[in-house]
A and B are shown apart, each in its own frame.
Chain A
Amino acid sequence: GENVEQHPSTLSVQEGDSAVIKCTYSDSASNYFPWYKQELGKRPQLIIDIRSNVGEKKDQRIAVTLNKTAKHFSLHITETQPEDSAVYFCAASSNAGGTSYGKLTFGQGTILTVHP
């Protein structure tokens, strides 16, 4: 089955700096890669996602890049703010064989702390 590795496990930055979180996946059939943000005691929230036919996607201060050959994808947050502090999860899924994207395999998470 799919295996997703996420690094680093913790990341501490100063407000205004950039933050980068990296994930690698094992199943070459994976073709959908979402990122979720989970604040303490709250539900995971989808912040950005990318499909395998796209190399990069950006939404304001957040961007995701995908390298299918190397089987890795990264989350980039620019101009970080204290409210960006949370746990970030990457995930991978595949709808190969007519299945759905509903079986997400998650990385272990990155605790991001943004210091004012």
Chain B
Amino acid sequence: KAGVTQTPRYLIKTRGQQVTLSCSPISGHRSVSWYQQTPGQGLQFLFEYFSETQRNKGNFPGRFSGRQFSNSRSEMNVSTLELGDSALYLCASSLDLLNYGYTFGSGTRLTVV
């Protein structure tokens, strides 16, 4: 079956713009988590969604937001982009909240110039 699909793979944006990233979980998976990966900070948790509800949130500013749709697909949005937002954004999905096997997608590489 198909894995976790993230689109687009690459993005280049200008400071001050906003961006929306998409994540389609493995079919049947209902829990989606988002992470930011940078060389300096490593992998950092952004937020988690289940049944269209945000279940958990990391320590990121309010410019970072997300949502989940009824088909479990998720999007994250970053507004007023800053140079420091350049990173690989990864999403991971799991069957449900009680399941602990999270599978990652290949990520979206965001570059802010």
Chain A contacts to B: CB under 8 angstroms: 1, 32, 34, 36, 42-46, 49, 51, 89, 91, 93, 95, 99-109
Contact = CB atoms under 8 A, between A and B. Distances in A.
B90 A100 contact: no
A98 B4 CA distance: 25
Given A99-B55, A103-B48, A106-B42, A43 B106 contact: yes
B97 A106 contact: no
Contact of A100 (B4, B98, B104): B98
Interface string B59-82: 100000000000000000000000
A49 B100 contact: yes
B84 interface: no
Contact of B42 (A32, A34, A93, A109): A109
20 contacts: A1-B59, A36-B104, A42-B106, A43-B4, A43-B90, A43-B104, A43-B106, A43-B107, A46-B103, A49-B101, A100-B48, A101-B99, A101-B102, A102-B50, A102-B92, A103-B45, A104-B43, A104-B45, A106-B35, A109-B43
B55 to A, nearest CB: 6
B58 interface: yes
A46 B101 contact: yes
B20 interface: no
A32 B98 CA distance: 12
B6 to A, nearest CB: 9
When A and B form their complex, which 4 residue pairs have the shortest distance between CB atoms, in order from nearest? A100-B97, A102-B48, A101-B100, A106-B43
A106 B92 CA distance: 14
Contacts of B42: 89, 106-109
B108 to A, nearest CB: 11
Given A93-B100, A103-B45, A106-B35, 5 more contacts: A32-B100, A95-B100, A99-B55, A101-B97, A104-B102
A93 B56 CA distance: 12
Contacts of A101: 94, 97, 99-100, 102
Contacts of A51: 100
